[in-house]
């Protein structure tokens, strides 16, 4: 049962009575759907879900939660597996109705509301021959992905999403609404770019857009396990051959109608088919058992790994909205964790990761929808930005590894999460920047905050940037209203 008193629910309703905001509480029709999360393991009873339609409505909710010290969570795409999009017994501020996207083609600026999904942005920008550095999945929230860093297929050319963020309209803990940019509240803008979820509600984001050809080469390849050496060999040459216009992911999952893990490869080339096929020839000619790679519209690129590609589009020349059926992406219990690797990869090591991952699938068949991916996105543009230029602390000469576990039995929660953490730790210690004998540049923490579990240490995640974040937390959120992400504690009397 939620602990938000009914008297406070009534007070909140009173404060929102002249607005278009919708409030759903325990016992109301549709309450179960309103608290549903992408991962079943994150479903919790909350005191109220408030679906707002404006920044001003969001400010009322935030001010109310701060004043009454009520747990508050902000939900954009709701894609978290750590529970950061829900607040047991508290208030969930739902931005699902803030999905509008505006385009200024001449200034090459894309303005997205805080509840917009990447699909909304991709489609709107593409109508003007533009693109924004964003996620590699189209059905997740743009604000959350951006504020934590934002890797995308265009990262090799233009850096991270935060490196292309021009400004953000933010609701602060006291309910004030500010614009943060390089010239307005620059210290807040610094914190937002990498740790933004801890400092406010981003109700609007202004992105730098880039000219983008309509058709790009992308798709997935599936290989049997015995082709692992071919894939690893190509991956080890990727770093020296890329000019930033390519992306390569590879890893392990179970394809439909298969009983053991296969090798999943995702390829991307921002150019024509002939050059793409030349670049990826060693893979394309290695007889994959499935191959979907080809020329596709750029605004479909971020949907190639979605659980569905059903998009309902409606729009005009200047504004586009997409209604995406998020419920189709919901399902079993899930856990996302990350790690890092450096190149070259040792084949025997990658084989051992495959064997361990495949062993889990074999011994626990309900995990067969899980996957592990080595994400090779060129990092030169990321590393051009100084470590202290933004709060983001993952700018190093390495590549992210992501691991998404899916299962159904709640009794397996602890066991599978521990196993996942052990596997990701072994990857970093054997093939990442913590491995013995690593002699590369000592840059970055090696942990992408958007891939880190909820219990990850914020001090480790943000490294040398952590003390400044604590100072800014004290300034902008002294009562720690926004504590559902990685819990940066404000300094009190120079102590956490």
Quick one: pLDDT at residue 428? 95
Reported as a single tens digit per residue, the pLDDT across 340-366 is 999 999 999 999 999 999 999 999 998
Same domain, 146 and 244: no
Backbone φ and ψ for 403, nearest 5 degrees, come out as: -140, 115
Q: Is the peptide bond before 344 cis (omega within 30 degrees of 0)?
A: yes
Backbone φ and ψ for 167, nearest 5 degrees, come out as: -165, 165
Specify burial of residue 483 (Cβ count, 10 A radius: 0-12, 13-18, 19+). buried
Domain assignment of residue 471, yes or no:
no
Same domain, 285 and 348: yes
Same domain, 159 and 107: yes
Domain assignment of residue 493, yes or no:
no
Quick one: pLDDT at residue 315? 33
pLDDT-based confidence at residue 43 (cuts at 50, 70, 90): low
Same domain, 229 and 336: yes
Same domain, 106 and 86: no
Domain assignment of residue 473, yes or no:
no
Same domain, 385 and 446: yes
Same domain, 44 and 71: yes
Domain boundary among 164, 196, 211: 211
Quick one: pLDDT at residue 496? 55
Please state the rounded mean pLDDT for residues 372-395.
97
Quick one: pLDDT at residue 266? 96
Please state the rounded mean pLDDT for residues 182-201.
97
Quick one: pLDDT at residue 25? 79
Q: When comparing pLDDT for 316 and 126, which is higher?
A: 126
Same domain, 135 and 236: no
User: What is the domain-level CATH number for residue 431?
Assistant: 3.40.462.20
Same domain, 194 and 338: no
Range in 125-129, 238-242, 349-353, 406-410 the model is least confident about:
406-410
Q: What angle do CA 288, 292, 293 make, to 5 degrees?
A: 90
State the DSSP code for 117: B
Return the structure tokens found at 97.
């109705």
- Looking at the predicted structure, is the pLDDT value of residue 85 above 80? no
Domain assignment of residue 130, yes or no:
yes
User: Which strand (E) or helix (H) includes residue 375?
Assistant: strand 371-376
pTM score, two decimals?
A: 0.91
User: What is the domain-level CATH number for residue 60?
Assistant: 3.30.43.10
User: What is the domain-level CATH number for residue 188?
Assistant: 3.30.465.10
Same domain, 207 and 244: no
Domain assignment of residue 392, yes or no:
yes
Residues 6+ apart with CB under 8 A from 430: 349
Domain boundary among 451, 466, 487: 451
Quick one: pLDDT at residue 1? 38
**Half-sphere exposure (CA, 13 Å, Cβ side) for 139?**
19
Domain assignment of residue 182, yes or no:
yes
Residue 210: Cβ within 10 Å count = 17
Count up the domains in the chain and report the number.
3
Q: Mean pLDDT over all residues of the chain? A: 89
Same domain, 359 and 378: yes
DSSP string computed for 213-278: -SEEEEEEEEE-GGGHHHHHHHHHHHHHH--SSEEEEEEEE--TT-SS-EEEEEEEESS-HHHHHH
- Looking at the predicted structure, is the pLDDT value of residue 313 above 80? no
Domain assignment of residue 341, yes or no:
yes
Same domain, 134 and 191: yes
Reported as a single tens digit per residue, the pLDDT across 125-179 is 999 999 999 888 888 899 999 999 999 999 999 999 999 999 999 999 999 999 9
Can you tell me which residue has the tokens 């909140």?
12
Domain boundary among 211, 237, 258: 211
Q: Which range, 28-32, 301-305, 382-386, has the best average confidence (pLDDT)?
A: 382-386
Report the side by side order of strands in the sheet with 201-208: 177-181, 165-171, 201-208, 109-113, 101-104, 319-323, 312-315
Return the structure tokens found at 29.
């029709």
What range does the domain containing 46 cover? Answer: 6-94
Question: How far apart, in Å, are the Cα atoms of 148 and each of 37, 151, 214, 390?
Answer: 19, 9, 28, 11
Can you tell me which residue has the tokens 């620059």?
186
Quick one: pLDDT at residue 312? 26
Residues 6+ apart with CB under 8 A from 412: 333, 364, 366
- Looking at the predicted structure, is the pLDDT value of residue 39 above 60? no
Residues 6+ apart with CB under 8 A from 374: 235, 249, 250, 251, 341, 345, 399, 401
Quick one: pLDDT at residue 448? 94
Domain assignment of residue 34, yes or no:
yes
Q: When comparing pLDDT for 264 and 82, which is higher?
A: 264
């Amino acid at each position: 049962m939620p602990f938000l008193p009914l008297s406070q629910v009534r007070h909140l309703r009173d404060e929102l009575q002249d607005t278009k905001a919708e409030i759903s509480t325990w016992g109301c029709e549709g309450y179960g759907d309103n608290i549903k999360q992408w991962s079943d393991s994150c479903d919790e009873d909350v005191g109220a879900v408030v679906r707002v339609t404006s920044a001003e409505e969001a400010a009322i909710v935030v001010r109310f939660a701060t004043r009454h010290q009520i747990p508050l969570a902000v939900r954009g795409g709701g894609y978290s597996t750590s529970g950061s999009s829900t607040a047991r017994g508290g208030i969930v501020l739902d931005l699902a109705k803030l999905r509008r996207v505006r385009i200024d083609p001449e200034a090459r600026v894309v303005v997205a509301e805080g509840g917009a999904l990447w699909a909304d942005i991709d489609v709107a920008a593409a109508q003007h021959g533009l693109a924004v550095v964003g996620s590699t999945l189209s059905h997740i929230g743009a604000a959350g992905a951006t504020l934590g860093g934002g890797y995308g297929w265009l990262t090799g050319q233009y850096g991270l999403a935060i490196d292309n963020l021009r400004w953000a309209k933010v609701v602060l803990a006291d309910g004030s609404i500010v614009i943060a940019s390089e010239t307005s509240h620059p210290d807040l803008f610094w914190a937002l770019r990498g740790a933004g979820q801890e400092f406010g509600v981003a109700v609007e984001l202004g992105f730098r857009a880039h000219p983008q050809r309509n058709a790009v080469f992308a798709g997935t390849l599936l290989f049997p396990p015995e082709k692992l050496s071919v894939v690893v060999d190509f991956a080890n040459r990727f770093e020296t051959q890329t000019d930033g216009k390519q992306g390569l992911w590879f890893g392990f999952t179970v394809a439909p109608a298969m009983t053991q893990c296969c090798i999943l490869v995702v390829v991307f080339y921002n150019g024509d088919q002939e050059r793409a096929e030349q670049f990826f020839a060693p893979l394309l000619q290695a007889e994959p058992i499935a191959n979907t790679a080809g020329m596709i519209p750029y605004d479909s690129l971020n949907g190639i790994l979605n659980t569905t590609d059903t998009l309902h589009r409606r729009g005009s020349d200047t504004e586009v909205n997409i209604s995406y059926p998020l419920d189709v992406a919901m399902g079993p219990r899930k856990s996302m964790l990350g790690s890092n690797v450096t190149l070259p990869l040792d084949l025997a090591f990658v084989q051992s990761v495959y064997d361990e991952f495949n062993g889990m699938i074999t011994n626990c068949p309900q995990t067969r929808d899980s996957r592990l991916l080595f994400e090779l996105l060129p990092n030169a543009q990321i590393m051009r930005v100084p470590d202290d230029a933004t709060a983001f602390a993952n700018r190093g000469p390495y590549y992210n590894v992501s691991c998404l576990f899916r299962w159904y039995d709640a009794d397996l929660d602890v066991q599978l999460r521990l196993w996942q953490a052990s596997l990701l730790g072994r990857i970093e210690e054997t093939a990442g920047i913590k491995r013995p004998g690593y002699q590369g540049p000592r840059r970055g923490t090696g942990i992408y905050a958007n891939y880190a579990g909820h219990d990850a240490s914020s001090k480790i995640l943000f490294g040398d940037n952590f003390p400044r974040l604590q100072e800014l937390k004290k300034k902008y959120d002294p009562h720690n209203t926004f504590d559902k992400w990685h819990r940066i504690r404000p300094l009190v009397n120079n102590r956490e």
